[in-house]
Amino acid sequence: MRKPAKKQQQGLTMISWIVVIVFLLFQGVIAMNVIPVYMTDSSVKSILEELPNDAKARDSSANELKTLVAKRLSINSIYTIKPESIKVVKGRGENIVIIEYEPRGKLIGSLDYIVSFKHEAKIPSR
């Protein structure tokens, strides 16, 4: 007489499920720490994109432009960018605003992250 064929195993074992859950939790922790950094950077980028269309920015000197950008960052609750990170370079008929910064933070234990950003905006001067 013939024995019935064994039913093939389906699904994951308990150890496999634990590995998958730990991996997903690790990814979630990374996302919770890094996504706010990119959201802040999105705000910085939008501030710089609006500058060339602003009449007040076009009529400003280099120091006034730096102060204007710092105020707009403060209005948008962006306190991680220091005034030293904002540079204004004079070009031919334009001022170039450069914001370069590196936010750092902790992930888990002794594991840290560093993200580097650099944005520029060219503002026609008077």
On whether residue 6 sits in a domain, the answer given is no
Give the model's confidence band at 3: pLDDT under 50 very low, under 70 low, under 90 confident, else very high.
Answer: low
On whether residue 8 sits in a domain, the answer given is no
* Residue whose entry in the numeric block shows the structure tokens 């150890």: 15
* Tens-digit pLDDT profile for residues 31-82: 999 999 999 999 999 999 999 998 888 888 889 999 999 999 999 999 889 8
On whether residue 94 sits in a domain, the answer given is yes
Q: Do residues 65 and 97 touch, judged by C-beta distance below 8 A?
A: yes
On whether residue 3 sits in a domain, the answer given is no
Cα 115 to Cα 104: distance, rounded to the nearest angstrom? 7
On whether residue 107 sits in a domain, the answer given is yes
Domain hosting 57: range is: 14-124
Per the structure, the count of domains in the chain is: 1
Q: Can you give the pLDDT at residue 5? A: 61
On whether residue 64 sits in a domain, the answer given is yes
